[in-house]
Amino acid sequence: MFTGLIDDIGTLLARDGHRFAIACRYDPAAILLGASIACDGACLTVVEVGPHDEGDGYRAVFFVEVSNETLACTTLGNWEPGRRINLERALKLGDELGGHLVTGHVDGVATIAARKPDGESVRFEITPPPSLLPYIAAKGSVALDGTSLTVNEVSESQFGVNIVPHTLAVTTWGERAVGDRLNIEVDLLARYVARLGKLMPGRDV
C-alpha cells in the first residue's frame, strides 16, 4: 500500500526483457529483497539490490521483474534506459497518510491532452480510458504516475488536475508534455462503491 507521495526520482539503467534495473537515492541496506516499490505508480517487487556509486547522485540499484500483464496494462512496456521514474516506498504502519490510499495496481493508461500555466502551478487536462471516467469525481483523488492528485473538474471525456511548484520539482511532472502517457489508478473507495452498487441494485450505497 502507498500514499501517492513521491519520495525519489529514479532512472531506468537497463532493461533485459522483463527485468528492469533502476537506480535510486535510497540506502541500499534499507531495500529488502521482496520489498514493494511503486515505480510510476506500478507496484513492483525487488528481486535484487546493490550499491550504485557512479558519481551521478544515486546510491543504490534495484532490480524488478515485470509480468506480461503489467507490461500490457501500464506504460512500462515502452520504457527505455534513461527514463526518469517516480518512486515511492511502501507505507509502514504509523506513517503519515498525506496523500490517499494507493494500491499500486494500475487500472490503465491515460494521456495528457493539455498543459497550461495557472499562476505558479500548472494545469493539466487528462484523457483517461472511457471505462475509468465514472470512477473519477471532482474534488476526489486519483493517482497518475504514482502521484496522489486532487481532481479539479470532470467533463464527458476528460478531467483536470493542478500541479503545484513543489510537486513539479520533486516528481517527473515538470517534464510532462501534451501526448505523454500516464499510469492511472482510480480511487480505491470509488471502485468498491461502484462494485457494491452493481451487486445491490436499488440500494443506496
Q: Which residues of the chain have pLDDT under 70?
A: 195-205
36-39 and 121-127 beta bridge pairing: unpaired
Query: What is the identity of the amino acid at 65?
Result: E
Which pLDDT belongs to residue 199? 57
Inter-CA distances, 126 with 78, 154, 199, Å: 19, 10, 30
Q: Catalogue all structural domains in the chain, each as residue range(s) with its CATH number.
A: 8-89 (2.40.30.20), 108-195 (2.40.30.20)
CA distance 149 to 147: 6
CA distance 83 to 180: 13
Q: Are 85 and 172 in contact (CB under 8 A)?
A: yes
Which pLDDT belongs to residue 193? 76
CA distance 163 to 119: 11
Which pLDDT belongs to residue 174? 96
